[in-house]
Chains A and B, each alone.
Chain A
Amino acid sequence: MTHSSVQERSSAHLEPETLIEMYRMMVLSRRLDERAWVLHRQGKIAFHISAIGHEACQVAAAFAIQRGIDFVYPYYRDLTLCLAIGVTPLHFMLSLFGKEGEISSNARQMPSHFSYKELNIVTGSSSVATQVPHAAGTAFAIQYRHKVGLTRPDDTTQPRLALTCLGEGSTSQGEWHEGMNWAGVHCLPFICLVQNNRYAISVPYEQQSAMPNVADRAAGYGVKGIVVDGNDVLESYDALKLAADRAYNGEGATLVEAKTYRPVPHSSDDDDRSYRSREEVEGWKKKDPILRFQTTLLERGLLSPEAIEDINQKSVAEVDAAHRTAENAPYPSIESLYGSVYAPLEDA
């Protein structure tokens, strides 16, 4: 076995305020996500792709790295991850409505194609797994800068790792293999977080790979593989913190497979009733990552029922405000279609 259970619980060292902030991010993401579904069903937006059910492993990933400094190559389901790094509900709402000032692309891209240069969140396409070798390339650049003396390895104001996320279906792409292979060959400061929600739209994991776990395949690349319960925030954090520390210490790449579930359709254009039973979906809703974390925080006495309600109310208010602002915002100018095709030479 190349993947192992996590021995040391780094999550035990998380401060109460940090745990509460992680919880708050998950709730904010959920309320925002639910609003997007409503807006789509109301015919107000054209498309939504959801992070519901994935909040735990995503918030864990954000808090395990240096948020806003380390490079992140998200995929389309990473709403919670990006919110936790610094994308705001308004940014997301502007992307849903395709409005001026949208942070990723000024509304050129479909929603959930996150990019935010100031926070080192790197733009991605809709072609799955294309971002994996990019993240490996950026990890290569980080290592290169240390080797040739452009950046000091202990300079924590500079990016020290590249994290990328994708679904389990996307690991069937050659791009995943080639990126993982570079990460292994060059012992790169690289984390690949596979959010295994069991379905690539309708196709179950068993049709993607003969291996029981995606993380088992890490061995084929000389990369460390870890399987975690992706609906458990603290277990996910333990694994991702270990992965980040390995990257920071020059110990190489880590593949973290977070086992999770998507209790909603793939996107607003999907109908999951055609490929899985309602009983299966209802069963997974009982393992909801937010409910589980909430129970933990209540048990530890870090949150009261009142505090939970307060977090919820404030999240709804934040979503309301972002929704209103975005709905009333102008569209991008027609001229903007023609801009930024080539970077000017002075940007060199």
Chain B
Amino acid sequence: MSVRNMTLIQAITEAMDEELQRDKRVFITGEDVGVRGGVFRATLGLHEKYGSDRIVDSPLAELSIVAIGIGAAVGGLRPICEIQFSDFIWPAFNQILSEAARIYYRSNGTWTVPMVIRAPYGGGISGGLYHSQSVEAFFAHIPGLKIVIPSTPHDAKGLLKSAVRDPNPVMFFEPKKGYRAIKGDVPDGDYTVPIGPARLAREGTDLSIYCYGMMAHYCMIAAEKVAREDGIQADVVDLRTLLPVDKEAILKSFKKTGKALIVYEDNLTMGYGSEVASILADEGFQYMDGPIKRLAAPDVPGVAFSHPLQEEYMLNPDKIAAAIRELVNY
């Protein structure tokens, strides 16, 4: 199978294109997904290829994008619903929490909701408070959902295909800062990456780094930097799926290293990394050889717009490298 080097967003578009081609039940709805091809151009060319019956510009109302998707899924279709920025997902929160996530359970496994909710997330793009949020922790508290966050083009394509084919509602959060910044090899044609298993992105024995999305990309840069400059060898676990979480992979790495650095872009308190820390404390206590460290954003209500303030808020490879050194030297 030949591979091509492409950006994260190109891999996402390719996954949707191939799924639309494969299954007539698949359709896309969201704001500006049609002739505009999406504000980030994730649906670029799809309207031209599949027409307005299948690439459907929604009214400017996020609740309805999700709720119509739920009803369409119940009606036998495979909706891919795009929320333009994850910051705007909140009007649909009740529909995701009370409806999409519960329909299978509350109907005793008779009605299914096979749908994908795609949403670009994350900061560092001068988006201010309302175009920068990391929202995954809110949804990771909801049994019945699956939550996927890819960090490479290969995984983005394979995981999105799995999400479209999954009989459950899948939240697919895309690191928008990495849309064009992250590049990688993507195989031609059809393949899937299963939802669930984490990926060991780098092997080492000095510490375990747990991360996902844009931070997984940064953690790899930081891990190479400390390897080069300090000879520190980090085990980097790219979680990829946040719900259901791959406990086995988390504990397997921790058993090897005894030290854990959990890196996430969201606010520190009650962020997704807090759950990873809890898993390690509960089930990995016997391997522990240092404090379980979380490296995350400060507990302020949002990412500030002004450049130096944004940079202070955001993590980057240098900040991660500093945290790696500190933990290894503990």
Contacts and interface: CB of A to CB of B under 8 A. Distances in A.
B67 A144 contact: no
A343 B111 CA distance: 9
B67 A137 contact: yes
Contacts of A127: 94, 98
A343 B146 CA distance: 11
A348 B165 CA distance: 6
B2 interface: no
B19 to A, nearest CB: 12
A123 B75 CA distance: 13
Contacts of A140: 68, 71-72, 75
Most chain A beta-carbon contacts within 10 A, residue among B54, B105, B108: B108
A130 B71 contact: no
Given A125-B99, A175-B63, A182-B64, A137 B106 contact: no
A115 B104 CA distance: 11
A347 B98 CA distance: 22
Contacts of A122: 74, 111
Interface string B77-109: 100000000000001001100110011111111
A133 B75 contact: no
A181 B65 CA distance: 12
A348 B71 contact: no
A138 B144 contact: no
B105 to A, nearest CB: 6
Contacts of B165: 345, 348
A136 B71 contact: yes
A137 B77 CA distance: 10
A343 B61 CA distance: 28
Contact of A117 (B27, B110, B244): B110
Interface residues of B, number: 45
Contact of B24 (A106, A142, A148, A347): A148
Contact of A182 (B24, B59, B112): B59
Interface string B161-186: 00001111000000000000000000
Contacts of A343: 104, 109, 112, 114, 167-168
A125 to B, nearest CB: 5
A141 interface: yes
Contacts of A134: 67, 70-71, 74, 99
A203 interface: no
Nearest to B94: A127
A294 to B, nearest CB: 36
A105 B24 CA distance: 31
B76 interface: yes
Contacts of A162: 71, 75
Given A148-B54, A178-B59, A133 B167 contact: no
Contacts of A150: 24-25, 76
B290 interface: no
Contacts of B25: 150
Given A115-B111, A148-B54, A341 B143 contact: yes
Given A130-B94, A145-B76, A175-B63, A104 B69 contact: no
A342 B57 CA distance: 30
A134 B110 CA distance: 16
Contact of A138 (B75, B95, B104, B244): B75
B106 A347 contact: no
B106 A109 contact: yes
B295 to A, nearest CB: 31
A235 to B, nearest CB: 29
Interface in A46-95: 71
Nearest to A133: B67
Interface residues of A, number: 48
Interface string A128-172: 001001111111111011011110000000010010000000000
A179 interface: yes
Nearest to B195: A345
Nearest to B91: A174
B98 A137 contact: no
A19 B114 CA distance: 40
B167 A345 contact: yes
Nearest to B100: A134
B27 A144 contact: yes
B53 interface: yes
A340 B104 contact: yes
Nearest to A150: B24
A347 B112 contact: yes
B168 to A, nearest CB: 5
Contacts of A345: 165-167
A150 B78 CA distance: 13
B64 A105 contact: no
A133 B68 contact: yes
Interface in B6-64: 24-25, 27, 53-54, 59, 61, 63-64
Top 8 A-B pairs ranked by shortest CB distance?
A: A137-B71, A141-B75, A340-B109, A133-B67, A178-B64, A134-B71, A138-B75, A137-B68
Interface of B: 24-25, 27, 53-54, 59, 61, 63-64, 67-77, 91, 94-95, 98-99, 102-112, 114, 143-144, 146, 165-168, 244
20 contacts: A104-B107, A105-B106, A115-B111, A117-B111, A123-B107, A123-B111, A136-B67, A137-B71, A137-B74, A138-B72, A138-B74, A140-B72, A141-B71, A145-B76, A179-B67, A182-B68, A342-B244, A343-B112, A348-B165, A348-B166
Given A133-B71, A138-B75, A141-B75, 7 more contacts: A123-B103, A130-B98, A136-B64, A137-B71, A174-B63, A182-B64, A343-B112
